[in-house]
Amino acid sequence: MSKKEFADNEDVQVDHMRSYYAFQAKIYDLTRWTFLYGRKTILQKLPFDKDASIDILEVGCGTGVNMVELAKIYPNARITGLDVSGDMLTQASKNLKSYEDRITLVEKPYGGSDEYNGKFDLILFSYSLTMINPQYVDLIHQSKKDIKEGGYVAVVDFHKANFGFYREFMKGNHVKLEGQVLPVLLENFEPVLCKIRTGLVGVWNYLMFVGK
């Protein structure tokens, strides 16, 4: 199977990501703070009252770091976390024990159904869209369907690599850094926040986006 065929085959991609994170789940929280910039910042930029009773979905929730922060910020929120990796969700369930009455974890890919249509006030993608190629376009379209009228999408993610060597390195880790996500977001959502910031001494840029 060619690289392109691998990227275009969603089932194969999901299986490969599950295999990849079987090991990564054990070290994820110890290592990812070094380059997943902006995750806490974007949660502080969300346009909701702190006591709001809101429904939140995080797509690619991983070990639950963002959901812990969301549960602290919004004590009346109901939060759903989706991930294809059962190993990551096992770690998440440990991290989220104090909030398990408000948080639901689901092991499956996002999209391809009407299950969540109009359900959520906020859908969060945190460093997940650039790993899902080329299906990130479908996921953005799906999120538009699943957000309530007047709700928001929030994205923090890699934007572009400024050096070819790093672009190729990240491709080997299933991440595409070619600025492909932002144009699709702008086609589907009215930006409330849209910033491109520098990560790791200029090796790459990352995106922070909140859209209505």
Q: Is 93 exposed, middle or buried (0-12, 13-18, 19+ CB in 10 A)?
A: middle
Predicted local distance difference test score (pLDDT) of residue 88: 85
Q: Is it the case that residue 172 has pLDDT exceeding 90?
A: no
| Cα 30 from Cα 41, distance rounded (Å) | 19
| Cα 31 from Cα 19, distance rounded (Å) | 18
Summarised one tens digit per residue, pLDDT across range 3-27 is: 444 345 555 555 555 555 544 544 5
Residues in a beta bridge with 104: 80
Range of the domain at 158: 3-211
Residue 18: C-alpha distances to residues 32, 84, 108 (Å): 17, 6, 10
Predicted local distance difference test score (pLDDT) of residue 17: 55
Predicted local distance difference test score (pLDDT) of residue 118: 96
Domains in the chain: how many in total?
1
CATH code where residue 57 lies: 3.40.50.150
Average pLDDT, the chain: 86
Please state, as a whole number, how many other Cβ atoms lie within 10 Å of the Cβ of residue 33.
Answer: 11
Q: What tokens does 137 get?
A: 């376009």
Summarised one tens digit per residue, pLDDT across range 64-83 is: 999 999 999 999 999 999 99
Pairing of the two strands 147-161 and 55-59 = unpaired
Q: Is the dihedral of CA 197, 200, 205, 211 positive or negative?
A: negative
